[in-house]
Structure 1
């Protein structure tokens, strides 16, 4: 029986970098978590311990910090592409770079009567994401943007009935329920020539939220598809949307032991177990990009 080395990569995970741009009394803040993974002519590193092809992971970390200073940080997709291309273009043994970035949003704290703009408050739990693959300048590239921890809720306009019922079914059908979920969504760009990744992100997020709010839901699956469909219909720079949406169950509380009714107003919010709905929506002409999501 032969034993061989399969696909491999290595890198520096979760480099936390914060960049403060100081423009007089008005400051701006970028707060990122950057992960890098590199692949190429690395077999001998694994097979014999020959480190000649290796760019140390510490060097990768330092590159993130140096590029934050030299180039600044604009949209995270652009920063990820800049890093990924650098690693492939500058290292002859590296043929493929994967850069994943999470961005944590901060909002300004404004003091009445003051021109100072240097105080911030963390903006909730939502995280913006980007995943870039690059084979170097002129090579194959993909850009996947997204978000996670986006918690949304519809207090009505949601039903769930007509499902399979077997000997273990206890869930009653409902014609009016709370629909809540925590959206993880990623969307693939048709190429790397999107003019403004910031605008693309804001508008795609808007499409997802408007579709969630505007869809009369018979299932969370139906809502997921409506959200992806609206994003792809309105944002022509995109070709594929993937979503994971756990069903954050809200169950009516029985208040009859206390002599009270409950006309669909008081709920128990259960965090687990939960239904997990996952799905992909794509255009009919979506180009193949087998490594885009990995």
Structure 2
């Protein structure tokens, strides 16, 4: 269900003779089964200036095109190639002409442009990654004039940018807050009326210090891990989802909703938390709630690597630090467990 950079062509598109270097047709000995080219990592910053309030979007954009012809490969004939430099220029010119609202809408705009402009382009695949800029909070820019104010810094709600009134946010100053990366992939094919739009979250690293367990798993001669009744649970969430309806969805809002659902199922209520019997169960509850809440999402995939924090054994050091240790842990990035699942609506084939 999730798009690869370019769809594998059907067998019908590969039949017939090949053309040799001297221009003579020869029977196929080998066949190009997938092809395409493009420009990657095109960095663009767009500033929307509406009076004193400015809004910014910074993207890294990749544009990949698949042409009907393969003569550039077989014959070295470049007459159909839209240069990757021209693709790069298109990113900047369309951003100037139409502005940027969201990564998904900009990717749709780019993909449709390439198909409308060039009749020999069969497929356009656009990948966009968003740089996580947030407005500076007004409280963070206030001058500290007394010792008592030093202790108040960071005590308010300003670090939670989504919960403060817009009037407390700076009009034109921003801070880079890489909590999670918003990305999208859009694939538009000339012979397929359905636009494939996939949005995703990368790099959402979370940790909780209790209410996570892992018990009653397979107990055989290969097992060394004891039952974990209360452990540190940490992961770096990667999640992507595909839309069945791209006309009625607010892409930016939907992305924020998915992120909030993941955090809510991981952390629970701020005061009491939520119990997690396994990473698998927490992952499933998040995916299920996304499908419950956002009807335009047809399928969602999520990966949660288990970032381990092992208890440091203080038993040999009782003379230095007597008692048990539940405060000092050793972070271990590798090896790590990886848990993933894809959840789809049962009537997906009818969407």
Following the alignment from structure 2 to structure 1, what is the Cα–Cα distance between the partners of residues 314 and 43? 48
Counterpart selection for 1:36 from 38, 57, 63: 63
Cα 1:207–1:137 shift into 2, 3 Å:
farther
Which shifted more, 205-214 or 121-130? 205-214
Cα 1:141–1:53 shift into 2, 3 Å:
same
Counterpart selection for 2:331 from 269, 274, 290: 269
Following the alignment from structure 1 to structure 2, what is the Cα–Cα distance between the partners of residues 261 and 286? 56
Counterpart selection for 1:243 from 279, 302, 305: 302
Name the residue aligned to 2:114.
Answer: 87
Which shifted more, 9-18 or 153-162? 153-162
Cα 1:40–1:288 shift into 2, 3 Å:
farther
Counterpart selection for 2:130 from 74, 88, 103: 103
The alignment status of 1:232 with 2:291, answered yes or no, reads yes
CA displacement at 1:244 relative to structure 2: 1.4
For the aligned residue pairs, the C-alpha RMSD in angstroms reads: 2.2
The alignment status of 1:16 with 2:75, answered yes or no, reads no
Q: What is the number of equivalent residue pairs in this alignment?
A: 289
Contact 1:157 1:216 in 2 (8 A): yes
CA displacement at 1:288 relative to structure 2: 7.9
The alignment status of 1:123 with 2:185, answered yes or no, reads no
CA displacement at 1:266 relative to structure 2: 2.2
Following the alignment from structure 2 to structure 1, what is the Cα–Cα distance between the partners of residues 109 and 63? 12
Name the residue aligned to 2:96.
Answer: 69
Where in structure 2 are there 5+ consecutive unaligned residues? Answer: 1-27, 144-167, 269-273
CA displacement at 1:115 relative to structure 2: 9.7
CA deviations over 1:12-39 (Å, ceiling 9, x no partner): 1111111122233322211101111111
Where in structure 1 are there 5+ consecutive unaligned residues? Answer: 290-294
Name the residue aligned to 1:292.
Answer: none
